[in-house]
Amino acid sequence: MFAVHRWDPELVYRFVRYLPAAAADVRAGASLPSPTTEQADAIIVLGCRLLPGGVATGSLRARAEAGAALFHLGVAPIIVTTGSSHEQPPGEAVVAAAILRERGVPDDAIRLEEKSRNTDGNFAFSRDLCRGPRVYVVTEPFHIARALRIARVYGFDPIAHPVISPAWTRPWDRARLTARDTVSLAWWMGDRAR
């Protein structure tokens, strides 16, 4: 599923070549509207690092709360939380699921994907947990373009649901995270083109 590649000296060239397209994608993704009435098979809440002691960051809390709000609109019968424990339990999926429960999502509607350590893994390991390919993808605007591209690689038909998190409202964090995701997307595109 996740192949380990030998170093490809052309990857840096492809990264530079894809950087403008990645920047345009991230900018476009950051301005996508949030549809809230289309029916889907599931809602996928993408994981996000935790603070020490397994405490949700503002980003993870915003994602989980937005996922719960979507669920309560009746747009999908299940909601999948994603992300493993990078250092020690609990994992991202577990913490996000607890937030869903706080927001009134019933246990029988929650699925936990606890194996992934990145966005690729979020989708790879969520495939068997969803009732079909049509899914809402819940994450911040700076991350949505890369998330949608990766979701399609794993056979999903994604609907973007960008979430305004505390990080998105702080200009420095917004700029830093947008730049980070632009670089990540360009690298991912270059790697896929090998």
Give the model confidence (pLDDT) of 141-178 as tens digits: 999 999 999 999 999 999 999 999 999 999 999 999 99
Q: Is the pLDDT of residue 1 over 60?
A: no
Single-letter amino acid, residue 53: G
pLDDT tens figures, 40-78: 999 999 999 899 888 999 999 999 999 999 999 999 999
Q: How confident is the model over 179-188, as a mean pLDDT?
A: 94
CATH code assigned to 34-192: 3.40.50.620
pTM over 0.85: yes
102 with 65: CB under 8 angstroms?
Answer: no
Pairing of strands 110-113, 79-82: parallel
pLDDT tens figures, 119-143: 999 999 999 999 899 999 999 999 9
Peptide bond into 90 cis (omega under 30): yes
pLDDT level of residue 9 (50, 70, 90 thresholds): confident
Cα angle at 97 between 92 and 99, to 5 degrees?
100
Q: E strands within 57-119?
A: 79-82, 110-113
